[in-house]
A and B are shown apart, each in its own frame.
Chain A
């Protein structure tokens, strides 16, 4: 990875002091009334690949806040959800580390240079710390032999799979087959976002969970199932609702994001976060007998290009209200898993630019073209959504359950039980 002129030991994360003299690069706009901020390679996705940006502020904290204003998400990448500079990030003012000065309160003046240097071993900042897989063990060669024997995979492809990290949003109908097949494939790290607990009604389709798991946190049940299939997989449990406050921090930790969310608010939130962090998003959704799957690659269109706004509450029913054929989850989820494995291996034609439609009743697959919308409010030429928003409000209170709604859901459940008795 290019770290500019700075030499960072990939194993220890130690910055070679001799390289600091050559760094940060001289400000090409020296003399102008601003502070130059050096952006490290892994954060440059946010700055349109610019190595240096101009910012204003009286101290380091203000300067970084100003950079965040210009490039939303920057603060999250540097600070995570906290306010302290994390241990793996060093910040320099004119080549001097700020912890030896006044920390984020270190005063700066026009013409100064601020450099943000993540010094994590084997990668840095928002980049997931990459697993390095050496030669496969005999057991691994056995386990993955049906992959390795294929010329499109081979030992190097299998190593790529084992070095990859994947975040699955939702350990439900879609998340289940996705997680199981990716675990079997030997993905290095799988993150599971789900704050819900296993309910008996989940077991009609959610193959991550079994009878004994009812009542358990889904993300924990998922971890147990995944590791029962393949103990080599590192599973990270994110047992909290994904929100505008934590999505940047969570999503930044993974190479690929797979969406199996069950509501529009989470879908727009995940889409927007993936756009800001330039993460590939493998999207799937299901209802009744229908499925839709596609892939959004960074800079090449997004969910908002396809569906600029969510339906008003009530227009499109949820699976809980309308139902879903259990096996449909397997069809759509395994397509999502297939797409991510293709991206990792760099083989085939991804679903990018195509929306795959599956109609289980007709038993028919079709596809339609999807395009990057030049007027997209998020990824178009003149974006108006430049930071994460309030997705509950955007989706008409999608997360907010009123008493009336809770009552209706309870009535529906009661009606189902009554029907079943007859």
Chain B
């Protein structure tokens, strides 16, 4: 059964879908599993073993920062949401034009 993982449109480029399924006893294990299925997944949300500070992961509706971070335990039927900060207010030319990610 595993864990349901919801991602935003940006990560969908890697996963192909906005809802994917993964397995793992903890959030860290789950991310390893997802990275196996979707190579590059961890790189999008993590750096040197920690989550990027503009990315939050929620177990059901709770931020894992206030649980056991990456060691937060998972059980079948849980829902994980992975949410990066969005900056868009949908201006156009005032948008900053970031360097393309390599």
Contact = CB atoms under 8 A, between A and B. Distances in A.
B52 A311 contact: yes
Interface in B32-66: 44, 52-54, 56, 58, 61-63, 65-66
A117 to B, nearest CB: 38
Contact of B85 (A175, A194, A316, A399): A316
B90 A292 contact: no
Interface string B67-81: 000000000000001
A169 B87 CA distance: 13
A290 interface: yes
A408 interface: yes
A262 B88 contact: yes
A309 B53 contact: yes
Contacts of B93: 196-197, 199, 320
B94 A196 contact: yes
- Chain A CB within 10 Å — which of B84, B85, B92, B100 has the most? B92
A349 B96 CA distance: 34
A287 B86 CA distance: 7
Contacts of A418: none
A152 B54 CA distance: 38
Nearest to A315: B101
A307 B91 contact: no
A306 interface: yes
B89 interface: yes
A316 B89 contact: no
Contacts of B63: 368-371
A188 interface: no
A284 interface: yes
A337 B71 CA distance: 39
A368 B90 contact: no
Given A172-B89, A369-B63, A371-B63, A262 B95 contact: yes
A310 B89 contact: no
Contacts of B20: none
Contact of A206 (B84, B88, B90, B99): B90
B89 A357 contact: no
Contacts of B87: 261-264, 267, 285, 287, 310, 316, 318
Contacts of A199: 92-93
Contacts, number: 188
A186 to B, nearest CB: 24
A291 B86 CA distance: 8
Contacts of A290: 8-10, 86
A324 B88 CA distance: 9
Interface stretch (A4-12, A128-136, A359-367): A359-367
B83 interface: yes
Given A315-B52, A317-B98, A329-B90, A285 B62 contact: no
Contacts of B6: 359, 366
A307 B87 CA distance: 11
Nearest to A404: B99
Given A313-B96, A408-B97, A174 B89 contact: yes
Interface in A155-193: 169-170, 172-175
B81 A366 contact: yes
A285 B99 contact: no
A235 B99 CA distance: 36
Nearest to B57: A368
A170 B6 CA distance: 30
Interface string A16-35: 00000000000000000000
Given A313-B99, A357-B83, A369 B91 contact: no
B85 A285 contact: yes
A193 to B, nearest CB: 11
Interface string A379-420: 000000000000000011011010011101100000000000
A202 interface: yes
A265 interface: yes
B90 A319 contact: yes
Interface of B: 6, 8-10, 18-19, 44, 52-54, 56, 58, 61-63, 65-66, 81, 83-102
17 contacts: A170-B91, A172-B89, A172-B92, A262-B89, A263-B95, A287-B88, A289-B9, A292-B83, A309-B52, A309-B54, A311-B52, A313-B96, A316-B84, A319-B91, A395-B96, A401-B96, A405-B99
Given A311-B52, A318-B98, 20 more contacts: A170-B91, A174-B89, A194-B94, A195-B94, A196-B93, A197-B93, A202-B92, A260-B89, A285-B85, A285-B87, A290-B8, A290-B9, A290-B86, A311-B85, A314-B102, A316-B87, A319-B89, A368-B83, A395-B96, A401-B97
